[in-house]
Amino acid sequence: MANKKRYKGKIGTHDVVITSTKEDAYMDAVFSIANQQLEHLNEANPTLSAEDQLVLLAINAISDQLDMQTERDAGKTE
C-alpha cells in the first residue's frame, strides 16, 4: 500500500490540508492549476463569491474528467 502523507496548500483564500499518495511537486501543480482557474473565474465574473467560484471550479473539473473518460471509452471501442 502506498504511503499517504498530508499536504498543506492554499486554494484561493482557503488553507486546506489533504491526505494523498502523490508527491509534493504533483500536488503543487494541482494547486497551481486550481488557483489559475479561480483567477480566470474571478476575471470573468468578479461578483461571484469565493464559494461560488469554488463550486464552479469543481463542476469544471468534473466536466473535464467526464470528457476525458468519454474519449478513453471511445478509444477502447475503435
- The pTM assigned to this predicted structure is 0.81
Contact present, 8 and 25 (Cβ < 8 Å): no
Cα–Cα dist 23/25, whole Å: 5
- pLDDT attached to residue 78: 65
Q: Using alpha carbons only, what angle is made at residue 28 by residues 45 and 20, rounded to the nearest 5 degrees?
A: 110
Q: Where are the domains of the chain?
A: 5-76
Q: pLDDT per position in the chain (78 positions), as tens? A: 678 999 999 999 899 999 999 999 999 999 999 999 999 999 999 999 999 999 999 999 999 999 999 999 988 876
Residues whose CB is less than 8 angstroms from the CB of residue 2 and which lie 6 or more positions away in sequence, other chains included: 21
